[in-house]
Amino acid sequence: MNTKKLLLLILISGIVSCSKPVKKAENKSPKKIENPTNKVLLSSEIVWEKLNPARGDQSPQAGTIWGDRKGNVATGFLAKFVDGFSSPPHIHNVTYRAVVIKGLVHNDDPAAANMWMKPGSFWTQPEGESHITSAKGTENIALVEINHGPYLVKPISEASDNGERPVNIDVSNIVWLNNKKTNYVASNSNAEISFLLEDNGLQSLFIKLPKEFKGEILTNGSVLHSVVIKGEINYTMPQNNEIKVLDTGSYFGATDKAIHTVSNNSNSEVILYLRTNGAVMVK
């Protein structure tokens, strides 16, 4: 997807969701789903390893959440950078999407001035395009997501142009839609949604849950990956009603129609990132 198309999607998402019917999950919750596929991964359970061992202690750390970044499947992983990290100019063999979770991250053309993206910012990096990545802060973490692996770092001598253009969206430019502007949010819910990207039959979006939110996120796709970008939620496992506390960097997902019962018991908002090939309803 090129830059123009992505930005257009972000800017007019409110208009589209009001004027054009879009697929959505049923507004009425089913009482129970047989054989639920809901799963979670706590941030404390993530296994970290060096993303580029050749750089020693300066290497970013990578913690896989789903998939296999060394294999051929769609993958999501957390990347952790030390304070002051700056990569040499390089390329990747695959396009990736990313969200800043903690700290400040700069990702751009090697000649570009630093543009530090705060937590909640979203960017894309096209396959084959030369760039650098830098970070500053006591803790710097980003969610990185690819449609297929392996995820490799290569020299700029192998740079290429596949027609895609990078996009950097600062958190201050995220467009939020409430239940009056999108039918992805039930009329009785005070949650909000921001549409980020649609490609290859999947959509990427943010969901904002206000303080003291208690409700459900209904999904019906065969792909559903969600990561807590900001805050902390209580997540009820439908298999046994066990409540899991998902802090920043934690994950929940499903591979079929699912009810995700969540609550935000804090006094601050929660931001979730979702990637799915199905419909979504927050209620």
Share of the chain above pLDDT 90, in %: 83
- C-alpha to C-alpha distances, 50 to 57, 62, 214, nearest whole angstrom: 9, 6, 38
Cβ atoms of 220 and 257 within 8 Å: the answer is yes
In this structure, what DSSP letter does residue 213 have? -
Average pLDDT over residues 47-57: 84
Model confidence at 53: pLDDT above 50: yes
Run of H or E residues at 209 = strand 202-209
Q: How many CB atoms lie within 10 A of CB 27?
A: 12
Give residue-wise pLDDT tens across range 214-260.
Answer: 999 999 999 999 999 999 999 999 999 999 999 999 999 999 999 99
Please report the pLDDT score of residue 58 as a whole number: 78
Helix H segments across the chain? 3-19
Share of the chain above pLDDT 70, in %: 89
Owner of token pair 């760039």: 131
Parallel, antiparallel, or unpaired: how do β-strands 251-254 and 39-41 relate? antiparallel
Domain locations in the chain? 3-42+173-282, 46-172
Asked whether the predicted pLDDT for residue 159 surpasses 60, the reply is: yes
Q: How confident is the model at residue 12 (pLDDT cuts 50, 70, 90)?
A: very low
pLDDT on residue 28: 56
Question: Is pLDDT larger for residue 52 or for residue 199?
Answer: 199
pLDDT for residue 194 is more than 80: yes
**At the topology level of CATH, where does 3-42+173-282 sit?**
Jelly Rolls (2.60.120)
pLDDT-derived band at 54 (thresholds 50, 70, 90) equals confident
pTM of the model: 0.89
Q: Which of 88, 79, 84 is nearest to 60 (CA)?
A: 79
3-42+173-282 and 46-172 share one fold:
yes
Q: C-alpha distances in angstroms, 230 versus 65, 76, 104?
A: 17, 17, 14
Q: Which residue has the higher pLDDT, 32 or 253?
A: 253
Tokens 């969701």 locate to 17
The 8-class DSSP code of residue 94 comes to S
Does the pLDDT value for residue 69 go beyond 70?
yes
Q: How far is CA 121 from the centre of its chain?
A: 10
- Which overall architecture, per CATH, does domain 46-172 show? Sandwich (2.60)
**What sign does the CA torsion over 56, 101, 281, 40 have?**
positive
- Provide the pLDDT confidence category of residue 59 given band limits of 50, 70 and 90: confident
Pairing of strands 75-81, 192-199: unpaired
